[in-house]
């Protein structure tokens, strides 16, 4: 029997929802990727059912790190800032520090600085990230068949290009730095099980 993607997703959500960290560790049976994925799904379900306010600081750190990993590995820091994952931009640097990934924290800080926030406050970081995302979205226009085409922008293209170049440099550093973010995140979960309760 072949499941479609929607059915497979629903099956996994049901399988992981409401499980403890210890249960999820046992279910993963040593598979680091499966463990990271299962905890993320369980925490997302908790947030959907109980509201984002129900998440502990450690649970938000977990979701921030997983969002960064997913987005940067698939499309770089630009994608992290463009997608809904941008909600974690204000906490990503400290989150990386908390799981003992100082090199990646420095890279994330550099990426955030590339979008030129007025200050390091969470509100200013979010404003800068959203401004970058809005400008980036405005630079592409849908054409026939769903194809996107770059369009002219009123914004200073050299400024936007400089930001994009800096984010690309951050991507290259991220891919080469060698910190095991997934492994560090699992150690963080194990050390904070009492505060991570999907």
Mean pLDDT score of the chain: 88
Range of the domain at 36: 5-191
In a domain, 196, yes or no: no
Lowest mean pLDDT among 45-54, 64-73, 140-149: 140-149
Percent of the residues in the chain that have a pLDDT greater than 70, as a whole number:
88
In a domain, 198, yes or no: no
More confident: 11 or 173? 173
Q: How many domains does the chain have?
A: 1
Residue 71: is its pLDDT beyond 90?
Answer: yes
In a domain, 143, yes or no: yes
In a domain, 98, yes or no: yes
Among 123, 68, 72, 124, which Cα is nearest to 96's?
68
Among 181, 64, 169, 183, which Cα is nearest to 107's?
169
In a domain, 162, yes or no: yes
What does the pLDDT read at residue 141? 58
Q: Could you read off the pLDDT of 150-190 as tens digits, one per residue?
A: 454 444 556 778 899 999 999 999 999 999 999 999 999 99
In a domain, 78, yes or no: yes
More confident: 154 or 125? 125
In a domain, 88, yes or no: yes
CATH number at residue 12: 1.20.1420.60
Residue 69: is its pLDDT beyond 50?
Answer: yes
User: φ, ψ for residue 155 (rounded to 5)?
Assistant: -70, 155
């Amino acid at each position: 029997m072949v499941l479609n993607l929607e059915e497979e997703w629903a099956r996994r959500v049901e399988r992981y929802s409401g499980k403890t960290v210890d249960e999820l560790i046992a279910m993963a049976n040593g598979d680091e990727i499966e463990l990271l994925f299962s905890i993320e799904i369980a925490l997302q379900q908790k947030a959907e059912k109980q509201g984002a306010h129900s998440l502990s600081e450690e649970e938000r750190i977990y979701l921030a790190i997983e969002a960064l990993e997913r987005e940067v590995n698939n499309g770089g820091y630009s994608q992290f800032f463009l997608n809904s994952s941008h909600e974690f931009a204000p906490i990503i640097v400290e989150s990386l520090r908390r799981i003992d990934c100082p090199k990646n924290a420095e890279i994330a800080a550099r990426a955030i600085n590339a979008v030129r926030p007025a200050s390091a406050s969470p509100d200013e970081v979010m404003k800068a990230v959203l401004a970058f995302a809005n400008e980036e979205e405005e630079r592409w226009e849908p054409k026939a068949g769903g194809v996107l085409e770059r369009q002219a922008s009123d914004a200073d293209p050299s400024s936007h290009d400089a930001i994009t170049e800096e984010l690309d440099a951050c991507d290259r550093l991220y891919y080469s730095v060698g910190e095991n973010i997934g492994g560090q995140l699992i150690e963080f979960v194990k050390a904070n099980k009492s505060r991570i309760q999907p």
